[in-house]
Amino acid sequence: SQTIHQWPATLVQPVGSPLSLECTVEGTSNPNLYWYRQAAGRGLQLLFYSVGIGQISSEVPQNLSASRPQDRQFILSSKKLLLSDSGFYLCAWSFLATQETQYFGPGTRLLVL
């Protein structure tokens, strides 16, 4: 069976500091990978998705970036965090063949102070 991991679970960072969130998937090969953000009390916003190593599509312009250095690893980064970056970050994966059903990780709660 497939499992998806995210770390850290919780992070408190000062404004202007860098960010690196990691997501890994086990039990499958060549998955589609996604980063979402959920602001407090709001819905999910797709930030990035990837269909393969080194292939990243960005949905919204912002100070965040994503990378996929390995097949089952997806990283969300920032060089300088903003207060507005606070939120709940969810990573998701889907089978490449179907693409449509996405399975989510446990998430990372980020608080920027």
Partner 1 sequence: AQKVTQAQTEISVVEKEDVTLDCVYETRDTTYYLFWYKQPPSGELVFLIRRNSFDEQNEISGRYSWNFQKSTSSFNFTITASQVVDSAVYFCALGRPNTDKLIFGTGTRLQVFP
List residues near partner 1 by CB under 8 A.
32, 34, 42-44, 46, 49, 51, 57, 59, 88, 90, 92, 94, 99-107, 109
* Nearer CB in complex with partner 1: 18/46: 46
Q: Which residues, in sequence order, are bridge partners of residue 65?
A: 77
Two tokens at 103? 């399975």
* Nearer CB in complex with partner 1: 19/105: 105
CA 35 centroid distance within chain = 3
Nearest distance from residue 50's CB to partner 1, in Å? 9
- 11: closest CA among 104, 85, 93, 105? 85
* Nearer CB in complex with partner 1: 51/53: 51
Nearest distance from residue 103's CB to partner 1, in Å? 6
Nearest distance from residue 82's CB to partner 1, in Å? 22
- Tally DSSP H helices, then E strands, for the chain: 0, 11
CA–CA separation, 19 vs 46, rounded Å? 18
Q: With contact defined as beta carbons under 8 Å apart, do 39 and 29 qualify?
A: no
* Nearer CB in complex with partner 1: 18/52: 52
Nearest distance from residue 34's CB to partner 1, in Å? 7
